[in-house]
């Protein structure tokens, strides 16, 4: 398997681990390689492996047991893996949105004041990619484009601390993105909501951009509550 060092890891590592499971014909109950072994095998950091394993656990492909390892889940069961994960991790997910609501509306406000042409182009590019992936039905890539769009807003603030904070959230709290975008209709709603944010930033309308971001996050949280019956 080729090195993944230069690729977009959030998607590529997850796909690579899925490929390992498939090609090595691992069955439900089988133990997967350790984080250290996967890191060496795919030539990526252990933090990237942990991020991928979290996404695979949310989607029900694997189950991570602290101190025991990672095991293959039974994907033929009638359980709803994302719903199970949301119920089990309701507190973490609530905290995820609480932090984002504190940070991102203000980031959108500041981005309106400081965004340069290159920032607007980046936002448009991520928005277009998100729309395309939703149209193709590729949820994993849509999630990556969604988080990239939010990170691009942070970068447009020209505030390095805020950008680092958002990048950290993208890498360590991205289950929130995953859970919300699996709620029925949320991808399509996000297209409209992202479009509203994008237009407000292009218009340098700080108040509208901040409100659009707050509405977007609250709508995502509401959809999780409605669909999964928790939070």
Walk along the chain (231 residues) and give the pLDDT tens digit of each residue. Answer: 444 443 466 678 888 999 999 999 999 999 999 999 999 999 998 888 888 888 788 777 888 888 899 999 876 665 666 777 777 778 888 888 999 999 999 999 999 999 999 999 999 999 999 999 999 988 878 888 998 999 999 999 999 999 998 888 876 666 677 778 878 899 999 999 999 999 999 999 999 999 999 999 999 999 888 887 776
What's the CA dihedral at 47, 51, 57, 62 to 10 degrees?
-50
- The confidence score (pLDDT) of residue 109 equals 98
Q: Is 166 helix (H, G, I), strand (E, B) or coil?
A: helix
- Provide the token pair at 178: 């995953």
- Provide the token pair at 217: 């996050």
Contact indicator for 59, 18 with CB cutoff of 8 Å: no
pTM of the model: 0.75
- The confidence score (pLDDT) of residue 5 equals 41
Place of tokens 């695979």: 56
Q: Please state the φ and ψ torsions of residue 73, each to the nearest 5 degrees.
A: -90, 165
Q: How many CA atoms lie within 13 A of 122 on its CB side?
A: 16
Place of tokens 């919300």: 180
User: Which residues are within 8 A (CB) of 146 and not within 5 positions of it... i.e. 6 or more apart?
Assistant: 130, 177, 181, 190, 194
Q: Domains in the chain, please, with CATH?
A: 2-72 (1.10.10.10), 81-228 (1.20.120.530)
- The confidence score (pLDDT) of residue 168 equals 83
Taken in order 60, 140, 148, 209, the sign of the CA dihedral is negative
**b/e 216-230 (16+ beta carbons within 10 angstroms → b):** bbebbbebbeebbee
Contact indicator for 180, 93 with CB cutoff of 8 Å: no
SS (H, E, C) 29-48: CCECCCHHHHHHHHCCCHHH
Residue 167, exposed/middle/buried by CB under 10 A (0-12, 13-18, 19+)? middle
- The confidence score (pLDDT) of residue 2 equals 42
């Amino acid at each position: 398997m080729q090195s993944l060092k230069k690729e977009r890891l959030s998607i590529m590592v997850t796909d690579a681990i899925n490929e390992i499971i498939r090609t090595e014909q691992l069955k439900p109950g089988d133990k997967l390689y350790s984080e250290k072994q996967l890191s060496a095998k795919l030539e990526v950091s252990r933090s990237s492996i942990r991020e991928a394993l979290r996404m695979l656990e949310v989607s029900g492909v694997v189950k991570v047991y602290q101190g025991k390892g990672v095991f293959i889940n039974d994907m033929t069961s009638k359980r709803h893996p994302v719903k199970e994960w949301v119920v089990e991790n309701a507190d973490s997910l609530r905290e995820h949105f609480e932090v984002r609501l504190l940070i991102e509306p203000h980031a959108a406000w500041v981005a309106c004041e400081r965004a340069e042409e290159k920032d607007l182009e980046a936002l448009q590019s991520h928005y277009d990619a998100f729309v395309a992936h939703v149209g193709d039905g590729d949820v994993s890539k849509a999630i990556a484009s969604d988080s990239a769009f939010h990170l691009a807003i942070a970068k447009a603030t020209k505030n390095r601390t805020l950008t680092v904070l958002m990048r950290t959230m993208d890498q360590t709290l991205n289950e929130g993105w995953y859970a919300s975008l699996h709620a029925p209709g949320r991808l399509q709603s996000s297209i409209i909501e992202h479009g509203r944010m994008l237009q407000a930033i292009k218009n340098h309308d700080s108040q509208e951009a901040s409100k659009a971001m707050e509405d977007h996050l609250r709508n995502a949280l509401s959809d999780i509550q409605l669909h999964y019956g928790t939070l």
